[in-house]
Amino acid sequence: MKDNTPISMRLCRLAILALLPVFISASGLSLPAQQTPSQQQPPSPRLTPPSPFTEDRDPVRSPDSQTPAPPVVRKEPGGYVLHTEVDEVLLNCTVLEGTQLVPGLKKENFRINEDGVDQTLISFQHSDLPVSIALVVDNSGSMGSKRPSVNKSALDLIEASNPQDEAFVVNFSDEAYIDQDFTSDVNKLRDGLAHIESRGGTALRDAVIASADKLVAEAKNPKQVIILITDGDDNASTFDLEQTIRRVQQLSGPVIYSIGLLFGDEDMSRAEAKHAHKALELLSTETGGVAFFPKNIEQIDQIAAEVARDIRNQYTLGYRSTRPATEPGFRNVVVTAQAKGHAKLTVRTRTGYYPVARVAKKPPAAGKQ
């Protein structure tokens, strides 16, 4: 029996707004599960994007409810070990010379600049680290004929990955459902992707936010990726594009790779296709990923293979900002690389982040647990 867990994206209701503190401090709630005519499922946990926020609000969660800083991988005798660094900023970077990936660079080849100030690189890694992946796939009516090819390519991407990778499947239309929770079992992911009920609108941005929240709250790997596959423009989300990008940046969240299947839909106007193209590009570039726009269904396999190579060949850089985390506001980050024997190198990574001040919890009073 398949586990089809709903992620409600209807956040504009007053009842949800009244529960805002719960959404900020918790990563999941309970709601009746998605049901099909042939089966009934028991209630399951759901994920909910936070209610719309303003510039002045605490950006993610209250300090006492923050999850620990993501671990850093460093080489030590006996292998690679995860360490947690307070206020350390981690950047997953892809280095290109033209269109070719550049391996073999060293720590000294990189330079990090935050808001015009050079930063000191304190951790460096270039190896096939395990990744936590959200496969977020459009399940709206127009995707029906494209899903078999999409599902095959998504599974090919997973099968080309590190055996320690984990992934979950989100199918979305005007609402989004977790059709397979975190697993490394390709067969379970295949079953999750096979749950096709192409119908309704496209609440893409809400699905991205909820998936990013789930990754940050539940993923076992610090390196996190969203693979977003859609064939249309968002027409059903509560959040706008700016809020969606901001939310992912606030979480210091996942890299987003977008695959826009903007072909063969006679119902989509040129203006709608242009808007969808721009939105997917922004989602990806602002988070350090890439947006792909195949011209036909046959190109999806090639793109999936390219995404897999990109993920597997990234450099992970870490630094501690010269500015305290208590200073609010977005931090612009630029990473550059130079190396002998190479022409101009391009480094692709997220454009910046919002700092989150972490407050240490007080130890319990004597006699209390």
Question: How many domains would you assign to the chain?
Answer: 2
pLDDT tens over the chain, length 369 residues: 444 545 443 333 333 333 333 333 333 333 233 444 344 444 334 445 654 332 222 222 322 333 334 444 444 444 433 343 447 899 999 999 999 999 999 999 999 999 999 999 999 999 888 999 999 999 988 888 899 999 999 999 988 878 899 999 999 998 999 999 999 999 999 999 998 776 778 999 999 999 999 999 999 999 999 999 999 889 999 999 999 999 999 998 899 999 999 997 777 888 999 999 999 999 999 999 999 999 999 999 999 999 999 999 999 999 999 999 889 999 999 999 999 999 999 999 999 999 875 544 445 555 544
**Is residue 209 included in any domain, yes or no?**
yes
Same domain, 145 and 203: yes
Range of the domain at 305: 129-312
Q: What is the CA radius of gyration of the chain?
A: 21
Cα distance between residue 101 and residue 332, in whole Å: 24
**Is residue 237 included in any domain, yes or no?**
yes
**pLDDT number for residue 366:** 53
Instruction: Give 163: exposed, middle or buried? Use CB within 10 Å, 0-12, 13-18, 19+.
Output: exposed
Cα distance between residue 245 and residue 168, in whole Å: 21
Q: Indicate which CATH number applies to the domain containing 190.
A: 3.40.50.410
**Is residue 102 included in any domain, yes or no?**
yes
Cα distance between residue 193 and residue 150, in whole Å: 9
**Is residue 329 included in any domain, yes or no?**
yes
Which region, left, alpha or beta, applies to residue 126 given φ > 0 means left and ψ of -120 to 50 means alpha?
beta
**Is residue 103 included in any domain, yes or no?**
yes
Same domain, 91 and 109: yes
Same domain, 284 and 328: no
